[in-house]
Structure 1
Amino acid sequence: MKNIFKNTFILLIVLLFMACSSKHEPLQTVQKVDLNKYLGTWYEIARYEHFFERDCKNVSANYSMMDEETIKVINRCTKIHTNEKKEAMGRAYAIDETNSKLKVSFFRPFYGDYWVLILDENYEYAVVGTPSREYLWILARDKKLPLKIQNDILEKLPSLGFDISKLIWTMQE
């Protein structure tokens, strides 16, 4: 009887550690983001769908510095069916000197991850996601992204652990 309890306890510990471990490999970000080059307006090309962007078109994000460490974030969209314009203001900060991993909040004190995974050398497009692979955005400085660049990005995403079939392509007018 003692062995049954011991074996059950060991099994529970193993299951606990398995449940706590990530099902994904660690997510690589770009080596460095120059925040001054990253600031400004980005247009959403594609995203994983979530309640806060449901039924949105003409989605954009504008980044500007609030102070030396804090980035002001303004997300805008237009509701597809009503043409109602929505705006959300938030703030972000880099968690290390690379500036490739940020924490973003629209509902303080709660912050979420914003990791820059792919970034064009001229800061014309970027791919942002989270280590959980729950959130993903393809962003560009223009409302349209050339098909070749889209295809290059789509080729890279599975190796980062993202399911490209979950992408919703944003209507930009």
Structure 2
Amino acid sequence: MQRRSHSLALLLGIALLGGCASQLPLREAHSVDLQRYMGTWYVIAHVPYFAERGDVATADEYHLKPDGTIAVTYHYRKGFEAPEKTWGGKAWLPDPSNTAHWKVQLVWPLRSDYVIVDLSPDYGSVLVGLPSRKLMWIMARERQLPDAEYRRLLDVAKAQGFPVDEVRKVPQKPEDLGQPGFDTP
């Protein structure tokens, strides 16, 4: 029941915030190779909101299914000593020719946009956001991201109109707790 309420709260937040778009469309990453994009992405930083606030050691995992949809699993902990929890959903491409713009559904019937705004050439880091620009995530294949790449992605986010002053890093290891710029559990 707790997993379901966490999922519902997460999706409601995304759906409500995602529906507020009044700016120009986001510039999307070009030519996203879905096979290469699949796998685990650690959440390095985000604009926190109620459903994710306080989560640590978070990651998104994507798997391309034979029918073309994408299985989505969110991994998180409510503290480093707490057991890992997961919840799942699905994603799909509303336009199969545009692999940078997905629809995500974590709880039926609610769905949200998922826009790959910037993707490093080596598929090592990514900036994902909502068209409303109220929420965004910086993710990487490793639990840490070099400072220069993190700053580059923040610059891209700022140029796209995201509220970079609200961005907080997600603690991926216990030593991150309490450090400047990190979300607090």
Please indicate the TM-score interval, normalised by the length of the shorter structure.
0.7 to 0.9
Which entry has the higher C-alpha Rg, 1 or 2?
Answer: 1
1:104-152 residue CA offsets vs partner (Å, 9 max, x unmatched): 0110121101000000111100000010012100000000000010111
Q: How many Å apart are 1:53 and its aligned residue? A: 1.1
Change (3 A) 1:76 1:22: closer
CA distance in 1, matches of 2:75, 2:158: 28
- Counterparts of 1:94 and 1:66 in 2: how far apart (Å)? 12
Counterpart position of 2:61: 62
Cα displacement string for residues 39-65 of structure 1 (whole angstroms, at most 9, x for unaligned residues):
000000001112221210100011012
Identity %: 30
TM-score using structure 1 length: 0.83
CA shift at 1:86, angstroms? 2.0
- 2:15 alignment counterpart: none
How far is 1:69 from its partner?
1.6
Q: Match of 1:3?
A: none
Across the two proteins, how many residue pairs are aligned to each other?
A: 153
Partner of 1:43: 42
Question: Do the aligned partners of residues 165 and 119 (structure 1) sit closer, same or farther apart at CA in structure 2, a change above 3 Å counting?
Answer: same
Question: RMSD over aligned Cα, in angstroms?
Answer: 1.6
In 2: Cα distance, 1:135 partner to 1:107 partner: 18
Asked whether the 8 Å contact 2:69–2:90 carries over to 1, the reply is yes
TM-score by length of structure 2 reads: 0.78
1:60 alignment partner, SS class: strand
Matches within 5 A, 1:2-81: 23-80=22-79
Distance 1:28 1:79, change over 3 A: same
Structure 1 CA distance, aligned partners of 2:23 and 2:67?
A: 34
